[in-house]
Amino acid sequence: MLEIRGKAKISCDLKRHLSPRTVGTIMRSLPLEGHAHLLGKSILYFESNIDSGIERSKTEFKKGDVAFLPSTGSLCFFLNDAVFTKTMTPIGKLGEKIDALKDVKSGDVLCIYEETA
């Protein structure tokens, strides 16, 4: 689950088959939270202390994709289709309500956690 503290919750499905080592490291580190940053109009991200190298790198992402940027330990959420200059590790997909991310301001707190039934 991705929560924009005090604003919205969006289902966030981390897919182990995309990058098994990186997704495993992230899952063991949950919950994670950090301040939101915007990169252009396409990428919303927050930095974490996760240290994992590049795995199955890509530079092209679709709206709703979730990726990991190893150089900064950032979890990145794509608001639009984008081609990025740095390679990232694909780690998952966002569910419905992606447009709630467009209301996020720099400094808002993003939290990613495992929802328990």
Looking at the domain that runs over 2-112, which CATH code has it been given?
Answer: 2.40.100.20
> What pLDDT, on a 0 to 100 scale, did the predictor assign at position 85?
85
Cis peptide bond N-terminal to 31, omega within 30: yes
Average pLDDT score over the chain: 90
> What pLDDT, on a 0 to 100 scale, did the predictor assign at position 40?
84
Domain layout of the chain by residue ranges? 2-112
Give me the mean pLDDT over the 95-109 stretch. 85
Question: Checking DSSP bridges between strand 43-47 and strand 74-78, what pairing results, if any?
Answer: antiparallel
Tokens of 71: 């150089």
